[in-house]
Each structure stands twice: as structure tokens, then as C-alpha cells.
């Protein structure tokens, strides 16, 4: 007898969008790293944890498609459909033939980062409630940035897209089990969310109310929230025996240091923090809480990194301060580049919440530095500064913040 | 809500006796109802029924449910809807000849019509329940010459309403017939035995292979087979395509998509309020008659119910112009020399068994007072000993922290206060109708509130989870809301929370306020609001972290507050039902953030039965 979960097949929607640019330009949103893993891997691992029988990925990004085949094996190569958003209907028609005869389909957003137990939770809710489908739902603030739902007790009565979404503070959690008719509705509307609306009007869908941490990566700073969420759960120190750590380095609190990382003399890593494979943390550098230094990144001597995500192959030179920032793949920062990270009071950025620091309430956001950007020495980046992918900033520049 | 279970087994195929398994299954379904219980078994082509009023443990002690012989047994645990809890109203129900036994979860809407029809045909009804008609209906169709299964199907097609059914017909000695519409029903598949039940945990110990029965599906189980078909189309369903194997923990099912009972019950409030309104009838009029003829009105309760009582006290004064005396039940002896005939006591208890409230009630009765009970459990001790009982229809509440029962109690008290005000001429007919209209809209507003506030309250709950102390401040009708909000935080998040009328700050409590001290304000859109705004200012001046529950019509308070939780506007006198919702959620998410189980707070029991 097969396990219950094997009866489900899943479709992952992984289309690029501009809210996270410039980090996904010449790259893929779903390949950006969160604590050592590409975002897409969180969803795939989640689905694998409940042993779904087949996983299909719809994407418009060739790089992602290639990665899935290379990393997850041949089956994924076959099961990844390269299409564009406006040709979703055609892709779903193609997919329906591959799915065979099933009654329900599991739909997941590729940008979902949540504990694997959430996947189990919706399946248990589905099997125990005996209804047509289940939405993972999550209470949120900033509902204007989410797709939200209207509920009547635990029944989902409607799906609200921005700007209507502010009528509810319960977000669709990016994970659902739907009756198979949903695919016909996607074909009809060429849109997932309009299809969800129709499914709800035709079927009994209940919510699975998720009360634990959860992040849907939409904006660059959501990567920082995901870092914080995952690192907060880290309770132990895990240092690879293949990492090289200078005897005078200080590693404090829960920290992961992966294979091939080099931590030079007098560097201080204050956890929770993540240091990826083949990274170099220079002499006297200071890596502070909730930071992730992803694979092959370099942090120069005496630089300080605080609550930031330094993506793969990024290079931070010496004497920099990078706070509350995301540095994109292959970006390079010259010496003494400084990010300012306290937003002027009165400015609200969606999904960023103020923090209390010594009696003051501050909203913190540093810079978002695009893929392959180069920042000249001694540049000052104002809070909320965006540097486009591949852009070169001259040394000694001042870059004003742009809040999108 | 009720729970049903059935097993049919070949001898020696299950490790314990089928009756024992049914009793254990019923205990696992007790969260669905627990006012009466019963089983029926087929032995030698006849049916044995054992049933009675009370909790499973007690009825089993009296009636030995788990020693019933036979291998085909159905069982039921009840939560009264039609007919009070009693031995007669307990399920299973049988037909005139005792050859058909029925257990049922749901409500048969056309039972009166069917009952009348069957009575005319000579059927004798024993109980006050809607369920009994099903047994007689099957009996009727069999008497018309139909085979048992066809008669069963025809009966199902005649029913309107919701049902999950388990039926025994004595001539079919190893079959349990079942049907489902709008109430849950699951089949469990074993080797030489099969189950039906309202929920998987009922039989999870014996099998993990299940089939979820869909609406309009009927069929029967035998020890070795399952027959399933759609009652409308007649299509026979291939069960092999519907079998699931499950690997999860038993209590998941009961929570229906919620991680905790408390969150589930918070979300059930719109429905509980609606059901409570629908259930209000002649008892309210009787209660009002007693109040109108009373010398003095006392209100007593404990814990959350006392806070509901304080709301009642406020409404009796403000709306109806009646002075009432609220007191905490355990302090009842204070009135031993002052109460007498002509006085009326309103005793509020969710369980109807709260010992302090019961003792207060007994003292007042002994001294000649009349008693009005407000309770959620039909036939419990306090209603039994009261002159009039108004029931809340919140359904079973499993979470120890009271949520839906509080709002339902407040609904009952608000309803009484509005009617009282009208009957005594304090409000005119237009106002009366308008206020009743407002109360009718409360369930919908509660639903809207839940949808709007959960995100913000979760965030605030996480923010305050590391604090050691919180103040809850209100004025007027806001005071009982503050008291109840503080109680919720104390009991499940284990944070010291103190509520008091906001005007009291300067008389002492403000001395504790320092930088970042959370103060939660209840800001109702009434004449007290301007004073509350002053209180926010005074707390802010001392560095407090100010949080407020405000109406969406508010323009001033949210500018002052560090965090505002916005709820839909409601007539101020009815604000407790809406304003408490974010405070319940706040306590819940604070507890979750701290890693506590909100359903089982330390040192607390759901029903307090010792003084």
C-alpha cells in the first residue's frame, strides 16, 4: 500500500518578477540563496518531504530550468516546462497530459520558504476535512503586497488580489491542494489567481491556518526576513572540518560554517549567522547576527556585515560596512563602501517593520545591490539605495536611496 | 456537533472486543460532544441498545457500554441540539419494533414534517430528537416491501439537512449502513473488520487505511467489504481509488485545519454567535419577566464568565436603567445576610458545573431568590437548579481559555438588556429595532474583524512576547474588555497582565511604567473616548509602548498610538464582542511565539469543580 502523500502530484510556479530586481537580472529569483540554498530548493525539499509522486515546475527562466535538471536530476529536466506567463494556458494544457488521471493537484509558489511541516499540515487538513481543497493561510501585515483570502469560519470564500487584498489580513500562503478542475480554470484565465478565485466559487476549500514563521520572497528585503527566520531557529554551532579557521578568530553563538570556508585571524562571527562554502572572511572582519555569506563570497579585512545577505561570488573589499542589505550575485564592492541603514522617519516600506533600538523605534534598510554591480571605493549608499544589475558606481560617490 | 462510530468485525479479528473498541473510539470523539452516549449492537438478529445521559466514563460505569456483546456495533456521543440531554434522547434511536438503530451527527431540517407523517401512519416516537425519524422512516419503507438497503437509501433521499449516519438493521447482522451529507464521515479499513466514524482518531489505533466519504454518498460496510455509491446518481464508486493511508497524529483531525483548538474556537465565533442568536427564544422572555419583577439583580460568575457578567452589568445600567450587583462567585457568602425573596441572581457558567457559581446559586435559592442561568451545556448542574436558563449555542469548547463562550455569553446578555430596555420603556421601538438589528449584524462583523486583525495582532503578539508585564486599560464598557484581554494573556502566555479603569493610572499603577512598557488601550467610540485619549498621552509621556484597539471610524487615537489594531465600527454598547477578538488573538500569538501550548495552560482546568 502506498503512502497517502504519493497520491499527490505538485506543480511549482516559478516565474520571474520585477519586484525583486535588480537581484534577478541576468540570474533567477529562485536561485538566489537563503542560508546556503537556492530559494527554489526550499519548495522542492518541502514537497519531497511529503513524498509527492511527481513535481512539475513552470518557469520562464532558462537558468533555473538548467539548474533544476543539473541539481535534481533527469526527472526534473523532463518535468520543468519553460514557458512565459502569457502562455500559461498552453503550458497547463501540455502539463495536463503529463499528469494523467488525478483528482487533486498540489500547487506551490516557488518563492515559498516555510518549515516542511506546513506541507504535511495541508495534506492532513485535506484528508481529515474531506473537502475539495485546502489553502495554506497566514496572518500578515502589509496585506497590500499579498494575495489575501476572505474566510467564513475555516472556509475560503474569496481570493483578493492587490489592491483589494487589504480587505483581509489573512494571506494565501503560496501552497494549496485544489481539485483538478483548477487546471481548466488556469487554462481559461491564463492566470493562477483568477483560477483560484473560480475554484473557490465552485468548490469547498478550507484554510489550513499556519501560525509559525513563513516567508514568501517578493522583495529583496524578504531575503533578509527569510535569513532571520531560518537563523533564529539555529540553536547549535556547526563548523565543517574542512573549513579553515584561524586560532585567533572568534565564533560566538549558533553559526554554520561550511566546507572550504576560510576565517582569517581576529575575525569575529557573532551568530546566528551562516558562512557558505569556499567563502573567505578576511582578517578582523566582523560578521554580525542574521547575516548569510553565501558560497564563494569574499568579505575583506576589517569589514562589518550586519543582518545582510551576501550572495554567491559577491566580493566585499576591506573596511566596508554593510548593514540590512542584499548584495547580489557577482557584485563587487570596493574598499570602504558604507551602507547607511536607518530609513528617515515617516517612510514606510512594505513588509519592513520598525525595530526598537535602545528606546528608539527605527526602520532599517540598507542597500540592494544588483547582480554584477560594481561599487567604487569609499562610496556611501543611502538607506534603500538600489544599484542596478551590472552598473558601475564611481569611487567616492554618494547614492541616494530609492524606495520603490 | 456529535460523534459517531461503528465497527463490524469477524470474531477474533480485532485485539479487543468490538464494544471495547467502540467505547475507546467514543472517548476520542468526546471533543465533539459529551452530554450523553450510547451504543447498539446486533446479537442473534436482534438489536441491543445501551445508552444514557452523562459523560462516557460515567455512562459506561452505569451501563457497561464496553461489555455489550456482538461484532457489529455502532456508538454515539452527543451534543444536544434537538431535545435536552437525557437517557431517552441519547442515541442510538430505534424504530417501533426495535429492529433498526440509528446514530446521527447533524440536523434533520424536515424532521417535524416527517415525524407528523409517520405518527399519522401509527409510528410511536419515544424521544424529542430529530434523529428518531430516520429509524421510523427506514422501518416504514421496509414495511412497504423494500429490501433493507433500498429502504435505507430511500430514507436518505427523503431527508433534508445535514447528516452523517450509522444504521443497524437486525436482519443484516454484519452490516453497518452509512450516509453522509455536510457532516464528516470516514471509513476505516481493517483485515476482517471495518469501521465508520466521524473522525479518523476514533479508529486510528486499529487501522490507518481510510476512505473519506463525500456528500451524498451512501453504502454499507461488512467485515470484509465496503460498498459505496452516490445516492443521487446511483453510481457505484470504486473504493480502491479512494483509499488513503495516513501517518499523522490523532488530534489533528479534531482541529480541522487549525494548529490549536483555541485558534479554531476564536475563528468559530461568528458561527457560535449566529447559532446563539438563533437559539434565543421564550427563555429570554421568561428571564426578562423575572428581572422586571426583581427587587435587586445580582450577577455572579467566575473567570471569563464574570467578565461577561460585568458587560451585562454595564448594559443593564446604561441601556435599561437597572442597577445590578456583579460579584465573583467564590465571594458569595458576603450576601448571606442580605439576599431574600424577590431578588434575582443571574448565574453565568460555560460548563454549568462551576462549583463556585453553583454554591452561590444554592445560597441564593435557599434565601428565596430566583435564578437565571446562562450556560453552554444543556442540562448541566447550574441550569438544572435554576428557574430559567438561557443557553449559549457555542458548541463544545475544548481550549481551556474561554473564547467563543465569552462572546456568546455577552450576546445573550446584550440581547436581554436590549429587550429589557424596550419592555421598560427606556428605549423607543425604533431604537429597539435598530439595536436588535445591530446585534444581528454582530456575527458578520466578528467575521470581518477576524479577517482584518489577525495579521496585526500576530505581529504585536510577537513583539510583546519578551515582556514581563502588560497593562490593559479601558473606560466604561472598555473595562470588562480590558479585564478579559488581560486574563487571556495571563492564562496562556504567562505574562503578568493587569487591567483596570484607565482613570486609575494616576492613583498608583502608572508608577510601574517605564520605557517600552506595553499598555493596551480599549478605545470605544463613546463619550469616554476623550478621556482615554488623555490616558494614552500620559502613558506615552512615560515611555510606554502604546497599543490600542480602535474602531475604523477613529481619527485621533491611532495617531497617538505606537500600534493600532483596527476593528469595524460597532454600536459602542456591543463593542465587547468585537473588541475582544483581537485581544484573544494577541494572547494566542504571544503564547505561540513563546512556545507554549495555548490549549493546555499550566495549572488550569477547563471546568473548575472544586471550591
Domains and CATH numbers, chain A: 4-218 (3.90.550.10), 226-399 (2.160.10.10)
Question: Looking at chain B, which residue has its C-alpha nearest residue A205?
Answer: B257
Question: Looking at chain A, which residue has its C-alpha nearest residue B464?
Answer: A356
A372: left (phi over 0), alpha (psi -120 to 50) or beta: left
Q: If DSSP codes are grouped into helix, strand and coil, which group holds residue A363?
A: coil
Distance between CA atoms of residues B185 and B175, nearest Å: 16
State pLDDT tens for residues A166-205: 999 999 999 999 999 999 999 999 998 899 999 999 998 9
- Chain B: closest CA distance from residue A205 (Å): 11
**Judging by beta carbons within 10 Å of its beta carbon (0-12, 13-18, 19+), is residue B183 exposed, middle or buried?**
buried
Cα angle vertex A369, ends A367, A372, to 5°?
165
C-beta of residue A212 within 8 angstroms of C-beta of residue A180: no
Inter-chain residue contact A211 with B186, CB threshold 8 Å: no
Inter-chain residue contact B458 with A211, CB threshold 8 Å: yes
Q: If DSSP codes are grouped into helix, strand and coil, which group holds residue B509?
A: helix
User: Does residue B606 sit within a domain?
Assistant: no
Mean pLDDT of A378-388: 96
Residues B197 and B284 in one domain: no
**Given this model, what pLDDT does residue A1 score?**
36
Residues B295 and B246 in one domain: no
Residues B374 and B521 in one domain: yes
Residues B21 and B85 in one domain: yes
Question: Looking at chain A, which residue has its C-alpha nearest residue B590?
Answer: A211
Residues in B closer than 8 angstroms to A3, CB to CB, are 245, 247
Cα angle vertex B357, ends B354, B363, to 5°?
135
Mean pLDDT of A129-148: 92
User: Does residue B544 sit within a domain?
Assistant: yes
Residues in A closer than 8 angstroms to B253, CB to CB, are 128
Inter-chain residue contact A353 with B450, CB threshold 8 Å: no
Residue that finishes a domain, picked among B225, B254, B283: B254
Q: If DSSP codes are grouped into helix, strand and coil, which group holds residue B431?
A: helix
C-alpha cell at B328: 465573583
Residues B442 and B351 in one domain: yes
B477: left (phi over 0), alpha (psi -120 to 50) or beta: alpha
Counting Cα atoms < 13 Å in the Cβ hemisphere of B410 gives 29
Inter-chain residue contact A154 with B186, CB threshold 8 Å: no
C-beta of residue B178 within 8 angstroms of C-beta of residue B213: yes
**B455 → closest Cβ in A1, A125, A139:** A139
Residues in B closer than 8 angstroms to A52, CB to CB, are none
C-alpha cell at B490: 495571563
User: Does residue B155 sit within a domain?
Assistant: yes
Cα angle vertex B383, ends B610, B299, to 5°?
75
User: Does residue B460 sit within a domain?
Assistant: yes
Residues in B closer than 8 angstroms to A206, CB to CB, are 256-257
How far, CA to CA in Å, does B361 sit from each of A348, B386, B392, B452, B583?
A: 56, 8, 19, 40, 31
- Chain A: closest CA distance from residue B199 (Å): 7
Inter-chain residue contact B452 with A141, CB threshold 8 Å: no
pLDDT at A2 over 50: no
**A124 → closest Cβ in B252, B267, B452:** B252
C-beta of residue B455 within 8 angstroms of C-beta of residue B589: no
**Residue A38: beta bridge partners?**
A33
- Chain B: closest CA distance from residue A117 (Å): 11
Backbone phi, then psi, for B332, in 5-degree steps?
A: -60, -30
Residues in B closer than 8 angstroms to A102, CB to CB, are none
* Pure H helices in B424-521: 429-464, 478-488
**Given this model, what pLDDT does residue A78 score?**
85
**Given this model, what pLDDT does residue B243 score?**
84
Q: What ipTM does the predicted assembly reach? A: 0.86
Q: What CATH number is given to the structural domain containing B265?
A: 3.40.50.10490
User: Does residue B611 sit within a domain?
Assistant: no
- What is the domain count for chain B? 2
Mean pLDDT of A218-241: 96
- Chain A: closest CA distance from residue B101 (Å): 26
Residues in A closer than 8 angstroms to B186, CB to CB, are 130
DSSP letter at B182 equals B
Residues in B closer than 8 angstroms to A128, CB to CB, are 199-200, 252-253, 256
Residue that finishes a domain, picked among B254, B284, B316: B254
Residues ≥6 apart with Cβ < 8 Å to A325: A308, A309, A339, A341, A365, A366, A367, A368, A369, A381
Residues B265 and B234 in one domain: no
In 3D space, the residue among B415, B408, B405 whose CA is nearest the CA of residue B303 turns out to be B405
C-beta of residue A52 within 8 angstroms of C-beta of residue A44: no
**Judging by beta carbons within 10 Å of its beta carbon (0-12, 13-18, 19+), is residue A4 exposed, middle or buried?**
buried
- Chain B: closest CA distance from residue A384 (Å): 23
Q: Beta strand pairing status for A37-38 and A33-34?
A: antiparallel
Residues B171 and B286 in one domain: no
Inter-chain residue contact B456 with A169, CB threshold 8 Å: yes
Residues B565 and B585 in one domain: yes
Inter-chain residue contact B252 with A154, CB threshold 8 Å: no
Inter-chain residue contact A151 with B199, CB threshold 8 Å: no
User: Does residue B521 sit within a domain?
Assistant: yes
C-beta of residue A286 within 8 angstroms of C-beta of residue A303: yes
| Interface mutation vs chain B, best among A100, A118, A128, most B CBs within 10 Å | A128
Residues B280 and B315 in one domain: yes
Distance between CA atoms of residues A333 and A335, nearest Å: 7
Residues B75 and B216 in one domain: yes
**B459 → closest Cβ in A129, A208, A353:** A353
User: Does residue B610 sit within a domain?
Assistant: no
Residues of chain B with confidence (pLDDT) below 70: 1, 246-254, 379, 604-611
* Pure H helices in A203-282: 220-232
Inter-chain residue contact B271 with A153, CB threshold 8 Å: yes
**Given this model, what pLDDT does residue A102 score?**
87
First to last CA, chain A: 53
**Judging by beta carbons within 10 Å of its beta carbon (0-12, 13-18, 19+), is residue A345 exposed, middle or buried?**
exposed
Cα dihedral value A42, A43, A45, A49, nearest 10: 130
**A169 → closest Cβ in B245, B451, B589:** B451
Q: What CATH number is given to the structural domain containing B116?
A: 3.60.20.10
**Judging by beta carbons within 10 Å of its beta carbon (0-12, 13-18, 19+), is residue A379 exposed, middle or buried?**
buried
Inter-chain residue contact A151 with B450, CB threshold 8 Å: yes
**Judging by beta carbons within 10 Å of its beta carbon (0-12, 13-18, 19+), is residue B530 exposed, middle or buried?**
exposed
Cell 517593520 -> residue: A353
Q: If DSSP codes are grouped into helix, strand and coil, which group holds residue A18?
A: helix
Residues B193 and B268 in one domain: no
% of chain A with per-residue pLDDT over 90:
83
Assessment of whether the complete model's pTM goes beyond 0.95:
no
Inter-chain residue contact B456 with A171, CB threshold 8 Å: no
Residues B216 and B309 in one domain: no
Inter-chain residue contact A121 with B259, CB threshold 8 Å: yes
Q: A404: pLDDT confidence band, cut at 50, 70 and 90?
A: very low
| Interface mutation vs chain B, best among A3, A102, A126, A169, most B CBs within 10 Å | A169
Q: How big is the A-B interface in CB pairs under 8 Å?
A: 106
C-alpha cell at A328: 547580489
Determine the number of helices (DSSP H) and then strands (DSSP E) in chain A: 8, 39
Q: Sign of dihedral through CA atoms B462, B467, B468, B474?
A: negative
Segments forming the whole domain that contains residue B197: 3-254
Residues in B closer than 8 angstroms to A216, CB to CB, are none
Residues in B closer than 8 angstroms to A129, CB to CB, are 184, 256-257
Backbone phi, then psi, for A140, in 5-degree steps?
A: -135, 160
Cell 490593559 -> residue: B472
Inter-chain residue contact B447 with A152, CB threshold 8 Å: yes
**B456 → closest Cβ in A4, A141, A211:** A141
In 3D space, the residue among B401, B193, B409 whose CA is nearest the CA of residue B306 turns out to be B409
Catalytically active residues of B, by annotation: 2, 606
- Chain A: closest CA distance from residue B346 (Å): 31
Inter-chain residue contact A130 with B252, CB threshold 8 Å: no
Residues in B closer than 8 angstroms to A127, CB to CB, are 200, 210, 212, 244, 246
User: Does residue B185 sit within a domain?
Assistant: yes
Distance between CA atoms of residues B582 and B453, nearest Å: 6
Amino acid at each position: 500500500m502506498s503512502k497517502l502523500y504519493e497520491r499527490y502530484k505538485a506543480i511549482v510556479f516559478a516565474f520571474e518578477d520585477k519586484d525583486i530586481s535588480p537581484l534577478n537580472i541576468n540570474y533567477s529569483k529562485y536561485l538566489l540563496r537563503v542560508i546556503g540554498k537556492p530559494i527554489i530548493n526550499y519548495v522542492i525539499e518541502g514537497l519531497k518531504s511529503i513524498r509527492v509522486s511527481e513535481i512539475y515546475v513552470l518557469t520562464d527562466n532558462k537558468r533555473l530550468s538548467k539548474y533544476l535538471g543539473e541539481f535534481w536530476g533527469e526527472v526534473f529536466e523532463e518535468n520543468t516546462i519553460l514557458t512565459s506567463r502569457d502562455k500559461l494556458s498552453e503550458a497547463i494544457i501540455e502539463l495536463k497530459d503529463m499528469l494523467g488521471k488525478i483528482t487533486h493537484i498540489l500547487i506551490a509558489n516557488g518563492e515559498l520558504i516555510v518549515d516542511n511541516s506546513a506541507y504535511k499540515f495541508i495534506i492532513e487538513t485535506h484528508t481529515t476535512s474531506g473537502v475539495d481543497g485546502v489553502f495554506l493561510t497566514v496572518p500578515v501585515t502589509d496585506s497590500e503586497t499579498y494575495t489575501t483570502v476572505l474566510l467564513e469560519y475555516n472556509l475560503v470564500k474569496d481570493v483578493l488580489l492587490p489592491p483589494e487584498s487589504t480587505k483581509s489580513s489573512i494571506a494565501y500562503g503560496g501552497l494549496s491542494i485544489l481539485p483538478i478542475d483548477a487546471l481548466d480554470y488556469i487554462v481559461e484565465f491564463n492566470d493562477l489567481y483568477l483560477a483560484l478565485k473560480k475554484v473557490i466559487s465552485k468548490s469547498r476549500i478550507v484554510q489550513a491556518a499556519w501560525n509559525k514563521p513563513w516567508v514568501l520572497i517578493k522583495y529583496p528585503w524578504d531575503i533578509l526576513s527569510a535569513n532571520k527566520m531560518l537563523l533564529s531557529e539555529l540553536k547549535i554551532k556547526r563548523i565543517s572540518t574542512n573549513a579553515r579557521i584561524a586560532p585567533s578568530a572568534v565564533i560566538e553563538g549558533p553559526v554554520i560554517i561550511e566546507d572550504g570556508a576560510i576565517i582569517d585571524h581576529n575575525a569575529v562571527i557573532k551568530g546566528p549567522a551562516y558562512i557558505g562554502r569556499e567563502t573567505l572572511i578576511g582578517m578582523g572582519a566582523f560578521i554580525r547576527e542574521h547575516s548569510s555569506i553565501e558560497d564563494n563570497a569574499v568579505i575583506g579585512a576589517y569589514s562589518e556585515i550586519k543582518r545582510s545577505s551576501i550572495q554567491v561570488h559577491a566580493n566585499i573589499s576591506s573596511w566596508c560596512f554593510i548593514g540590512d542589505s542584499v548584495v547580489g550575485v557577482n557584485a563587487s564592492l570596493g574598499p570602504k563602501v558604507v551602507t547607511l541603514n536607518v530609513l528617515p522617519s515617516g517612510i514606510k516600506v512594505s513588509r519592513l517593520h520598525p525595530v526598537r533600538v535602545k528606546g528608539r523605534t527605527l526602520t532599517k534598510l540598507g542597500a540592494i545591490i544588483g547582480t554584477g554591480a560594481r561599487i567604487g571605493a569609499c562610496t556611501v549608499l543611502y538607506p534603500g539605495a538600489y544599484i542596478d544589475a551590472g552598473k558601475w558606481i564611481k569611487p567616492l560617490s554618494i547614492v541616494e536611496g530609492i524606495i520603490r | 456537533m456529535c460523534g459517531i462510530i461503528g465497527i463490524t468485525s469477524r470474531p477474533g479479528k480485532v485485539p479487543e472486543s468490538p464494544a471495547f473498541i467502540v467505547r475507546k473510539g467514543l472517548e476520542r470523539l468526546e471533543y465533539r460532544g459529551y452530554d450523553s452516549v450510547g451504543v447498539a449492537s446486533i446479537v442473534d438478529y436482534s438489536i441491543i441498545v445501551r445508552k444514557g445521559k452523562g459523560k462516557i466514563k460515567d455512562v459506561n460505569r452505569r451501563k457497561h457500554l464496553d461489555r455489550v456483546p456482538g461484532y457489529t456495533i455502532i456508538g454515539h456521543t452527543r451534543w444536544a441540539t434537538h431535545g435536552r440531554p437525557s437517557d431517552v434522547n441519547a442515541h442510538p434511536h430505534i424504530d417501533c419494533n426495535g429492529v433498526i438503530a440509528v446514530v446521527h451527527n447533524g440536523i434533520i431540517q424536515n424532521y417535524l414534517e416527517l415525524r407528523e407523517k409517520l405518527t399519522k401512519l401509527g409510528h410511536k416516537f419515544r424521544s424529542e430528537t430529530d434523529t428518531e425519524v430516520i429509524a421510523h422512516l427506514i422501518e416504514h419503507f421496509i414495511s412497504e416491501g423494500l429490501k433493507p438497503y433500498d429502504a435505507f437509501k430511500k430514507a436518505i433521499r427523503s431527508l433534508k439537512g445535514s447528516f452523517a449516519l450509522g444504521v443497524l438493521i437486525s436482519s443484516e447482522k454484519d452490516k453497518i449502513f452509512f450516509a453522509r451529507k455536510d457532516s464528516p464521515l470516514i471509513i476505516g479499513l481493517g483485515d476482517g473488520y471495518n469501521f465508520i466514524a466521524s473522525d479518523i482518531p476514533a479508529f486510528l489505533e486499529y487501522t490507518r487505511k481510510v476512505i473519506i466519504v463525500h456528500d451524498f454518498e451512501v453504502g454499507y460496510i461488512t467485515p470484509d467489504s465496503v460498498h459505496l455509491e452516490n445516492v443521487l446518481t446511483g453510481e457505484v464508486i470504486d473504493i480502491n481509488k479512494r483509499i488513503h493511508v495516513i501517518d499523522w497524529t490523532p488530534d489533528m483531525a479534531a482541529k480541522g485545519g487549525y494548529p490549536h483548538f483555541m485558534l479554531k474556537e476564536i475563528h468559530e465565533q461568528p458561527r457560535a454567535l449566529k447559532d446563539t442568536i438563533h437559539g434565543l427564544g421564550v427563555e429570554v422572555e421568561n428571564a426578562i419577566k423575572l428581572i422586571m419583577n426583581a427587587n435587586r439583580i445580582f450577577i455572579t460568575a467566575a473567570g471569563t464568565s464574570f467578565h461577561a457578567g460585568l458587560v451585562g452589568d454595564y448594559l443593564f445600567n446604561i441601556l435599561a436603567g437597572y442597577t445590578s450587583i456583579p460579584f465573583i462567585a467564590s465571594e458569595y457568602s458576603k450576601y448571606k445576610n442580605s439576599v431574600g425573596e424577590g431578588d434575582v441572581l443571574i448565574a453565568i457558567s460555560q460548563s454549568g458545573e462551576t462549583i463556585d457559581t453553583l454554591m452561590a446559586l444554592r445560597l441564593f435559592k435557599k434565601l428565596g431568590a430566583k435564578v437565571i442561568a446562562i450556560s453552554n451545556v444543556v442540562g448541566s448542574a447550574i441550569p438544572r437548579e435554576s428557574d430559567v436558563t438561557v443557553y449559549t449555542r457555542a458548541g463544545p469548547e475544548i481550549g481551556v481559555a474561554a473564547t467563543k463562550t465569552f462572546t456568546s455569553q455577552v450576546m445573550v446578555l446584550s440581547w436581554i438588556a436590549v429587550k429589557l430596555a424596550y419592555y421598560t420603556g427606556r428605549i423607543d421601538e425604533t431604537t429597539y429595532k435598530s439595536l436588535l438589528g445591530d446585534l444581528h449584524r454582530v456575527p458578520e462583523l466578528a467575521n470581518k474583524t477576524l479577517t482584518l486583525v489577525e495579521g496585526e495582532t500576530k505581529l504585536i503578539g510577537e513583539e510583546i512576547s519578551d515582556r514581563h508585564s502588560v497593562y490593559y486599560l479601558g473606560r466604561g464598557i472598555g473595562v470588562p474588555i480590558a479585564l478579559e484581554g488581560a486574563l487571556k494573556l495571563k492564562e496562556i502566555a504567562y505574562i503578568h497582565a493587569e487591567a483596570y479603569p484607565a482613570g486609575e493610572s494616576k492613583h498608583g499603577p502608572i508608577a510601574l511604567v517605564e520605557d517600552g512598557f506595553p499598555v493596551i488601550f480599549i478605545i470605544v467610540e463613546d463619550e469616554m473616548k476623550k478621556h482615554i485619549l488623555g490616558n494614552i498621552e500620559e502613558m506615552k509621556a512615560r515611555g510606554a509602548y502604546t497599543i490600542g484597539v480602535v474602531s475604523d471610524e477613529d481619527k485621533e487615537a491611532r495617531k497617538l498610538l505606537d500600534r493600532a489594531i483596527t476593528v469595524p465600527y460597532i454600536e459602542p454598547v456591543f463593542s465587547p464582542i468585537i473588541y475582544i477578538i483581537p485581544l484573544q488573538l494577541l494572547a494566542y500569538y504571544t503564547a505561540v511565539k513563546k512556545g507554549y501550548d495555548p490549549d493546555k495552560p499550566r495549572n488550569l482546568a477547563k471546568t473548575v469543580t472544586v471550591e
